[in-house]
Structure formats: C-alpha cells, structure tokens
Amino acid sequence: MKKKKIAIFTSGGDCAGLNAVVRAAVLRADSFGWEVVGLLNGTAGLLEKKPQYKILKPEQFNGNIMRMGGTILGTTNSRDPFAYKMDNGAIVDRSDELIKAFKDLEIDSIIGIGGDGSFAILNKLVNQGGLNFVAIPKTIDNDVFMTDFSVGYDTAVSVATEALDRLQPTAASHDRVMILEVMGRDAGHIALNAGIAGGADVILIPEIKYSIEKIAQKIKEVKADGRNFALIIVSEAVKTPEGKKHEVVYHGGETRYGGIGDYLGVKIAKATGSETRVTVLGHVQRGAGPSYNDRLLASAFGVRAVDLIKEGKFGRMVAWQNENVVDVAIEDAIAKCHTVDIDGMLVHTARALGISFGE
C-alpha cells in the first residue's frame, strides 16, 4: 500500500517554537507510518523552477532542533500566491500553479503554521484547489482569534520583560525615562504582558487612547514619590494622539510599523524635563530559543494537527482554550483579530498596580 504523505510548512514572520512544532508533527506522523514533506520558504518554494522541499525523518529531530529559534524550513511574509511579485516587478496570480504543484507532489494533506494573514490566503487557496488543510497558529503578536495563545508569543514576552529588567538599572543610574518600543502589529499583548511583568510605569497599547499630558503627569507623580527614573513600554502599533501611524518604508516598498518610541521620546522629554532614551527591541523578540511554554504549545499543537488529519477533519485550526487543545473552523479564526480586552483581568491588574495607560 502507498505510504500516506503529508506536507508541512511555516509561513509569515518567524518566531520561537516553529521547529518544535515541526518536530512534534513529524514524530506523530511517523507513529502512524506516514511520510512528511517539509516545504521550503512557505509555499513560495513550490513555485520555484525546481520545487523546493525536503523529506523530514524523525531521526533528524534527535538533536537540538526543538531548542532552536527560527525555522529550519525557512519562511516568507511577502509571497502571496494570488499577488506574487515577480523578479521583473510584475504582480501575477500564481494560485493555480501552486495548487498544481501540491497535486504533483501527491500530498494527502497539508499542515500550515502561520498567522491570520497567512491563513486568510491559504484558506482561499485550499478552497480553490480542494486541498486538505489544517492550520497551526504562530505569531509573537498573539493576535490570532479563537486561541488564547499562539506559538512564539510567550518567548517574545519573556524577551521584552528581560529588556525592561535590563533597562531598569541604567534608568535608575542616570535618572532617566526609558521608553521600550516592542512589536505587535495589531494588538498590544506583548506591551501589556511584558509591561506588567517588567514593572513598567506606563503601558501604551493600540487598544487604549492616550495623551502626552497624562503620561507626563504619571512621570511627575513617580518623581514626586521620590523615584528618579521611569519605564515606559509602547507597542509599535500605537498611533500619535492625533491618530497618525508611525511607519518605516523599506527598500522595495514594504511598509512596517516603527518610530512611535522616538516620537514619544521627544514629546515626553519636553513635557517632563526628564532625560529620555528610547530602545527599539525589534526582531530580537522573534529570534530567541523557545520558552518552555512555547515548546509545550508547539508540541501539543503539532500532535493535534496530525491527529486531525487522521480523523479526516480539515479546514480546522488547532487552538489553545481553557488549558486544552481544541480545533476551530479556520473561517472563524480569521474573521477577527484577537486584540487586548480592555475590560479584562490584565488591564484591571495593571491599573490596580498604579500603571498608567496614558488615559
């Protein structure tokens, strides 16, 4: 009898824990006697002249792969098959070509590890091609709907918390206000969680409107209480009080958030008279080795995704809800963004600790 063959790939921005997901899926698939094909660079590898993939064997995961950041499969967040940018700059719909490539590989089912952006594209693709697809959520932003946690988020929060721990002594030594700008494209989870864990005085997230005056008032209160420094954490997606986004346009025209920390640094220094410095944490949040929580989540998600294939349940995303792995319809997961609940327990906790949201 022909061996069942499944494909796995990582898509969108990398994060910690991706290799641990791949490992779990390979080990579980092997226990059923299935072959696993790792697609390289998201789905983009299949659109190369010679399709890019490698067969993944359990023994390849004996060493340190689970502990490693990044993804051994490579990834991309700019190769939408429906609007694929060719080398000559032309934008081409290559979705049919990609579906054919999947079929040529004689793959039974596909596991995609991605964020909401990737899932929206992949869902359209698999519906068009009639492919069997299961999704695993990963993103440092933790903005995938219907799952409490996505792979990579816990590690990113640890890195951001550690950054505040390192900023505190230097802030105290120099009597400074330190601003830490962290990632989070559509949601303030990293800033909120690391802000509480790392003892920030002010947390700025896109979900809560702030004013420079209120931030300045908090800094002055901190000083009046006899403390000579203050820590502020701001999510990259926070806008100016007038509603302007701070963005950077990279070579090639790709736009990403960036610059709100510097903007605030100037305003806060002026409003408070305090010496102010800004640290932008950036991709450091993505590159770390996975925390134990991310390894557990990755392992549970990888196993459950393969089990879903075994059960013949497709068009599903594995999710973490109430300390358990469940599965939800991909359509439901991509319908909304998981933003910070401003009436939730963590915002309440922060306020109760005297942390200001600049309101």
Pairing label, strands 316-321, 324-329: antiparallel
Query: How many chain residues touch ligand F6P (CB under 6 A)?
Result: 13
The reply to whether 144 sits near ligand F6P by the rule CB under 6 A is no
The reply to whether 356 sits near ligand F6P by the rule CB under 6 A is no
Distance in angstroms between the alpha carbons of the first and the last residue of the chain: 65
Question: With CB under 6 A as the contact rule, which of the stretches 179-187, 200-208, 222-230, 263-271 interacts with ligand F6P?
Answer: 179-187
The reply to whether 13 sits near ligand F6P by the rule CB under 6 A is yes
The reply to whether 141 sits near ligand F6P by the rule CB under 6 A is yes
Q: Is 104 an active-site residue?
A: no
Q: Check if the beta carbon of residue 132 is closer than 8 Å to that of residue 102.
A: no
CB of 187 to ligand F6P, least distance (A): 9
Question: With CB under 6 A as the contact rule, which of the stretches 42-50, 68-76, 182-190, 211-219 interacts with ligand F6P?
Answer: 182-190
Query: Among 38, 42, 45, 184, which residue sits at the site for ligand F6P (rule: CB under 6 A)?
Result: 184
The reply to whether 189 sits near ligand F6P by the rule CB under 6 A is no
Give the length of the chain. Answer: 359
Q: How distant, in Å, are the alpha carbons of 39, 69, 82, 91, 114 from that of 316? A: 20, 26, 22, 30, 13
3-state helix, strand, coil in the chain (%, to 5): 40, 20, 40
Radius of gyration, alpha carbons of the chain: 22
The reply to whether 168 sits near ligand F6P by the rule CB under 6 A is no
Burial class (CB in 10 A: 0-12, 13-18, 19+), 124: middle
CB of 286 to ligand F6P, least distance (A): 6
Site string for ligand F6P, 274-293 (x = CB under 6 A): ------------x-------
Distance of alpha carbon 6 from its chain centroid, rounded?
A: 25
The reply to whether 256 sits near ligand F6P by the rule CB under 6 A is yes
Catalytic residue, candidates 116, 141, 154, 294 = 141
The reply to whether 217 sits near ligand F6P by the rule CB under 6 A is no
Reference 260, options 231, 233, 230, 236; nearest CA is: 236
3-state secondary structure of 57: coil
Catalytic residues: 141
**Given the rule CB under 6 A, which residues bind ligand F6P?**
13, 77, 115, 139-141, 183-185, 236, 256-257, 286
